[in-house]
Structure 1
Amino acid sequence: MDDEIAEDAPRRATPKPHHVGHRERLRERARGAGIHHLPDYELLELFLFRSQPQGDVKPIAKALLERFGSLAAVLAASVEDLTTVRAADSRGRTKGVGAETALDLAALHEVARRVAKEEANRRTVISSWTSLLAYVRLTLQHEPREQFRVLFLDNRNQLLLDEVQNRGTVDHAPVYPREVVRRALEVSAKNLIIVHNHPSGDPTPSRADIDMTKQVIEAARALSITVHDHLIVGRQGVASFKQLGLM
């Protein structure tokens, strides 16, 4: 009899993980209210759904933002750094950012960078200055090491080439004015914009930055090449030598 009662009693349903149905609810909210209303971690979740088709990705999205500090910094992080991020799901199981997910995030950053570059290059660089600043910030503001780039422009100030001249340490990238000018001649550039980043986050020019800029300007002037500006990119913004009266 007891066995019959036990068999007839309703079985207790195994509780479903809280994230079951979350993906579709998040997609519905994005479709309804608009994707631009989502907070950063949910926007990141939407992207991670494609890289990780199963499981709860909310902890990973939040761990990424906590580790790197912002959505822009997550996308700008290296594949190597991304794969070090791990988070525990609702069941206490630890899950990390795999190589494929890291590559997807890096690809998204590269797409954004190229779109920004297209916007900056639709008109002459000088007349699309806001787009140019957006492009250099997206490209350099979260770089962990100093990078020295040159934007080579033609005689109409159209962008011919954006080239990394040197990569350095956390606070120094070697610059060789003669090499900058030699490269300008090779690509038939008539104008230049120098760009580099300060990984410290503060774009304020240093004494060494000012001296180096003068050397590049002098070397370029000897060959009738104009240096329009020197931009220093940091997480706190972009400093323009021309606006600061340093050239």
Structure 2
Amino acid sequence: MPAKPSTPPDQPAETPHYHGHRERLRERFHAAGPEALSDYELLEMALFPALPRRDTKPLAKALLNKFGSFAEVIHAPIARLREVDGIGEASINQIKLLAAAAHRVAKGEIKRKVALSSWNDVIDYCRTGLAFGDKEQFRLLFLDKRNQLIADEIQQTGTVDHTPVYPREVIKRALELSATALILVHNHPSGDPTPSQADIHMTKAIIQIATPLGISVHDHIIVGKNGHASLKGMRLI
């Protein structure tokens, strides 16, 4: 049989089918805004730079199927992202860039506001940084006398269900920063933010040392992917 004629060298190759889809997504994004796009479509767009020659829809859907939501995808541990078929380092870098951007925006909102007059922003900030972590982290928000944020520091990182916290180290750092108040924050990787007896005991130990030194502990917030808990709101401190 005669050989099938090849495409003449001066004739452009056929445009991949997903190029038109990408343009339609971009047009919808610019015309109607991000709310007009579903989670998987936003994730598709975020992956465009990492995968310029591939259809990103299957990967976006696979990521959401594995992790459950847009937020859980971008905060997923790198080791677990690598388990997804078809993902590469460029895609992982792009996903982690989204997580970093979300955290930076939330931090900017907290820094420019008086923390305790915008409590919802405090909760959002804590959840953005910690709720989807695979290990427990204990974080401290140091405040001045106007309840303005001085510093946000991770004091300890632990295992999947335990973080060692040393109350005297917490207060020592508060004194170094001339902080007059603290908000304690940690995450529960299980997703359930319910405080444990150890959480309550540790918080009371910090309050006991802080109070005579004129340092207030405004709250201890526990975050997880299923919500958050406030020890003060629950009247546990």
Runs of 4+ in 1 over 4 A off after TM superposition: 14-18
Does residue 96 of structure 2 align to residue 97 of structure 1? no
Residue in 1 aligned with 2:170? Answer: 180
1:61 partner letter: A
3-state SS in 1 of match to 2:83: coil
- Structure 1: gaps of 5 or more residues: 8-13, 87-95
Per the alignment, residue 8 of structure 2 pairs with: none
Distance, in Å, in 1 between the alignment partners of 2:169 and 2:207 is: 13
Kindly tell me the number of residue pairs found equivalent between the two proteins. Answer: 229
Offset of residue 246 of structure 1 = 1.0
Which residue number corresponds to residue 213 of structure 1?
A: 203
Sequence identity percentage: 54
Instruction: Please provide the CA RMSD for this pair.
Output: 2.1
Separation in structure 2 between the aligned mates of residue 126 and residue 140 of structure 1, nearest angstrom: 19
| Corresponding residue for residue 39 of structure 1 | 38
1:165 and 2:155 aligned: yes
Going from structure 1 to structure 2, the CA distance change for 1:31 and 1:23 (only over 3 Å counts) comes to same
Which structure would you say has the larger Rg?
A: 1
Aligned to 1:63: 62
- Scaled by the length of structure 1, the TM-score of the pair is 0.87
| Secondary structure of 1:22 counterpart | helix
Check the 8 A contact 1:197/1:232 in 2, yes or no: yes
Letter in 2 for 1:239: A
| Higher alpha-carbon deviation: 116-125 or 22-31 | 22-31
C-alpha distance in structure 1 between counterparts of 2:45 and 2:213, whole Å? 52
How big is each residue's C-alpha offset from its partner over 1:77-114, in whole Å with a ceiling of 9 and x where there is no partner?
Answer: 2333323211xxxxxxxxx2211221121111111111
- 1:154-176: CA deviation from partner (whole Å, max 9, x where unpaired): 11111111111111111110010
Structure 2 unaligned residues grouped into runs of 5+: 6-12
1:124–1:156 contact (8 Å) kept in structure 2: yes
Counterpart of 2:110, as a letter, is A
Check 1:154–1:171 CA distance in 2 against 1; reply closer, same or farther (3 A cut). Answer: same
Instruction: Tell me the distance in 1 between the aligned counterparts of 2:25 and 2:15.
Output: 18
CA contact (8 A) 2:77 2:133 kept: no
